[in-house]
């Protein structure tokens, strides 16, 4: 946008601002894996914003948005950039608003208990401060090391302990939002009548800028109980999960791995980093690329009955937490259910090991991209009655383009989330120059097929990662008339459309 630098300098001189190339490159994207293919091809920052700003208060945000509204300048809220659905994809006429300097506790009420905290507070420090006071939020997303409280709310996040504490929308009692006109509003959870709070939770920066949230807290657990069971098939395992939740048990963690994913989980510990000389990808990378060109055979073999038995079957990990002897009581009840449903007790070790290394997996993607392949995840969800159809349909759709494994990561009395992980490569032989473009084509085909399959199977295309731009093309198919509601709410909160344009609503040509 010509003159944006001069306009900011003239009108926003009180606000910390940067138009340097380094900052514009840094804020050009989130962690959408498709971006990694572009970076590998040498296209580091195609979508650089015009500027980056760092407000320190709601007043700063209010003045900024009013200026943007009056001058038709587009804004993109930014937490810590750990999103994986292209929720951040600015252009030269956009100002990115980094909220991490807004990280104060506004109010802490231990008798509630609840906490009002600004949107830029990072996840791990927030939980650690609460723990020292004897409380927990109970929200542990895999991105907790690199995400903010405001980002959790904006993306409708789910943590690894959602079985006991719920998703982030279950924890939010109130929030403060600066709308697209620059009006600060406070939204409260209401026991009766219509509530606007659920419309903002999960809106991904398209309705305004979340500046603070009030969260329900819980006493810090004094005890935990661990257990793991192996099952002949993944379906046997999820039937045991369903039985647990529908009989009233609420494990903080319940994770069911399909046979291949279970085999990897049993191998256990994250490797300690070693000081070794970095080398370019060699024969191993070449072999991986060749195998992933034709993933169908590998998928069919590993997901067959023979493959499942060879790998030792599926595995369910369960962790209960709470006070005194309650977790041990619940683990005994869970054991009775699982063994009645065909599970074989594997002891406490697998679940304890998972807890110890639960964030390590987020940092294992880089070697796969370096080898010339790609890796991504897709989380879908459905009612228990539709889970089999969803599992088969999405796995088949992805399996035509990539190697697929899955685990069930979040369970509830009425349904469950399936978390697919998949790795792929270029589908045909090609030269190095066009390899990354060929990988992108395979990646896009896999996503289109899987999203279509999820909707047709009666599932939802997003459980906790959000929709962003990557899933937006399929929102209409899932939501139907609900998409019109989103459009109407957007016009009320953001009449000029300056808030994160293109997110959740694809722009032509993008």
Q: Report the share of the chain in percent with pLDDT over 90.
A: 73
Answer yes or no: is pLDDT of 363 > 70. no
Q: Report the share of the chain in percent with pLDDT over 70.
A: 89
Least confident of 57-71, 112-126, 163-177, 278-292: 278-292
When pLDDT is averaged across residues 348-372 and rounded to a whole number, the result is 85
**351 within 8 A of 253, measured Cβ to Cβ:** yes
- Give the model's pLDDT for residue 510: 39
- Give the model's pLDDT for residue 283: 46
pLDDT class of 365 with cuts at 50, 70, 90: confident
- Give the model's pLDDT for residue 287: 61
Average confidence score pLDDT of the chain: 90
When pLDDT is averaged across residues 170-194 and rounded to a whole number, the result is 94
- Angstrom distance (rounded) from CA 36 to CA 496: 32
- Give the model's pLDDT for residue 413: 97
Answer yes or no: is pLDDT of 407 > 70. yes
When pLDDT is averaged across residues 421-448 and rounded to a whole number, the result is 84
More confident residue, 72 or 364: 72
pLDDT class of 471 with cuts at 50, 70, 90: very high
When pLDDT is averaged across residues 112-133 and rounded to a whole number, the result is 98
Listing DSSP states for 16-68 in one string gives EEE--HHHHHHTS----HHHHHHHHTT---SS--SEEEE--SHHHHHHHHHHH
- Give the model's pLDDT for residue 290: 64
- Give the model's pLDDT for residue 164: 97
- Angstrom distance (rounded) from CA 151 to CA 156: 8
- Give the model's pLDDT for residue 221: 97
Q: How many residues are given for the chain?
A: 510
Query: Taking phi first (over 0 means left), then psi (-120 to 50 degrees means alpha), and beta for anything else, what does residue 134 get?
Result: left
- Give the model's pLDDT for residue 260: 83
The tens digit of pLDDT for each residue in 80-110 reads 999 999 999 999 999 999 999 999 999 999 9
pTM: 0.92
The tens digit of pLDDT for each residue in 291-337 reads 676 777 677 767 777 666 667 799 999 999 999 999 999 999 999 99
pLDDT class of 362 with cuts at 50, 70, 90: low
- Say yes or no: do domains 105-219 and 223-268+284-456 share a fold: no
Answer yes or no: is pLDDT of 508 > 60. no
The tens digit of pLDDT for each residue in 237-287 reads 999 999 999 999 999 999 999 988 887 776 655 444 454 444 545 545 556
Answer yes or no: is pLDDT of 445 > 60. yes
Least confident of 8-12, 182-186, 313-317, 374-378: 8-12
The CATH architecture one would assign to domain 223-268+284-456 is: 3-Layer(aba) Sandwich (3.40)
The tens digit of pLDDT for each residue in 58-82 reads 999 999 999 999 999 999 999 999 9
Answer yes or no: is pLDDT of 343 > 70. yes
Answer yes or no: is pLDDT of 5 > 80. no
More confident residue, 480 or 119: 119
**477 within 8 A of 192, measured Cβ to Cβ:** no
The full 3-state SS of 386-411, as one line of letters, equals HHHHHHHHHHHHHHCCCEEEEEEEEE
Q: Is the link from the previous residue into 113 a cis peptide, with omega within 30 of 0?
A: yes
Least confident of 10-14, 117-121, 426-430: 426-430
pLDDT class of 197 with cuts at 50, 70, 90: very high
pLDDT class of 156 with cuts at 50, 70, 90: very high
When pLDDT is averaged across residues 351-361 and rounded to a whole number, the result is 89
Strand partners, 75: 95, 499
When pLDDT is averaged across residues 214-238 and rounded to a whole number, the result is 97
Answer yes or no: is pLDDT of 54 > 90. yes
Label residues 104-119 b or e (16+ Cβ within 10 Å = b). Answer: eeeebeeeebbbbbbb
- Give the model's pLDDT for residue 271: 47
Which DSSP state fits 472? G
- State which CATH number among 3.90.470.10, 3.30.465.10, 3.60.70.12, 3.20.20.210 fits the domain covering 105-219: 3.30.465.10
Domain extents in the chain = 105-219, 223-268+284-456
């Amino acid at each position: 946008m010509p003159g944006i630098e001069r306009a900011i300098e003239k009108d926003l001189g009180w606000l910390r601002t940067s138009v340097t190339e380094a900052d514009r490159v840094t804020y050009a994207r989130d962690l959408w894996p498709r971006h990694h293919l572009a970076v590998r091809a040498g296209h580091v920052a195609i979508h650089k914003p015009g500027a980056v700003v760092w407000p320190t208060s709601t007043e700063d945000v209010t003045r900024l948005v009013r200026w943007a509204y009056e001058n038709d300048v587009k804004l993109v809220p930014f937490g810590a950039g750990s999103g994986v659905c292209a929720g951040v994809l600015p252009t030269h006429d956009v100002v990115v608003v980094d909220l991490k300097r807004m990280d104060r506790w506004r109010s802490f009420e231990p008798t509630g208990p609840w906490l009002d905290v600004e949107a830029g507070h990072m996840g791990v420090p927030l939980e650690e401060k609460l723990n020292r006071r004897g409380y927990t939020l109970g929200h542990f997303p895999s991105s907790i090391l690199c995400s903010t409280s405001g980002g959790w709310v904006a993306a409708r996040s789910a943590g690894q302990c959602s079985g006991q504490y719920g998703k982030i929308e279950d924890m939010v009692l109130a929030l403060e939002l600066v709308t697209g006109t620059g009006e600060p509003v406070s939204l409260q959870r209401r026991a009766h009548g219509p509530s606007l709070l659920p419309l903002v939770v999960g809106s991904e920066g398209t309705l305004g800028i979340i500046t603070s949230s009030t969260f329900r807290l819980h006493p810090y657990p004094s005890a935990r109980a661990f257990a793991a069971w192996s099952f002949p098939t993944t379906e046997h395992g999820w039937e045991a999960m369903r039985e647990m939740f529908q009989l009233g048990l609420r494990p903080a963690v319940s994770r069911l791995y399909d046979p291949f994913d279970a085999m990897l989980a049993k191998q256990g510990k994250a490797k300690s980093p070693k000081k070794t000389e970095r080398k370019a990808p060699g024969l191993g990378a070449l072999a991986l690329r060749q195998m992933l060109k034709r993933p169908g055979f590998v998928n069919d073999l590993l997901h067959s009955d023979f493959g499942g038995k060879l790998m030792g079957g599926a595995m369910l990990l369960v962790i209960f937490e709470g006070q005194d002897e309650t977790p041990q009581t619940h683990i005994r009840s869970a054991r009775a259910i699982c063994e009645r449903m065909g599970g074989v007790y594997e002891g406490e070790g697998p679940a304890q090991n998972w807890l110890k290394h639960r964030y390590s997996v987020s940092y294992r993607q880089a070697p796969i991209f370096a080898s010339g392949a790609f890796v991504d995840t897709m989380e879908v969800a459905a009612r228990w009655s539709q889970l089999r159809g969803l599992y088969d349909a999405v796995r088949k759709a992805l399996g035509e383009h990539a190697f697929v494994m899955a685990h069930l990561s979040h369970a509830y009395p009425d349904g469950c989330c399936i978390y697919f992980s998949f790795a792929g490569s270029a589908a045909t032989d090609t030269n190095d120059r066009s390899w990354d473009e060929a990988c992108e084509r395979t990646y896009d085909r896999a996503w289109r097929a899987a999203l279509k399959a999820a909707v047709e199977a009666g599932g939802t295309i997003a459980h906790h990662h959000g929709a962003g731009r990557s899933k937006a093309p399929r929102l209409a198919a899932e939501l139907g008339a609900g998409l019109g509601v989103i459009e109407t709410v957007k016009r009320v909160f953001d009449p000029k459309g300056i808030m994160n344009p293109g997110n959740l609503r694809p722009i032509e040509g993008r």
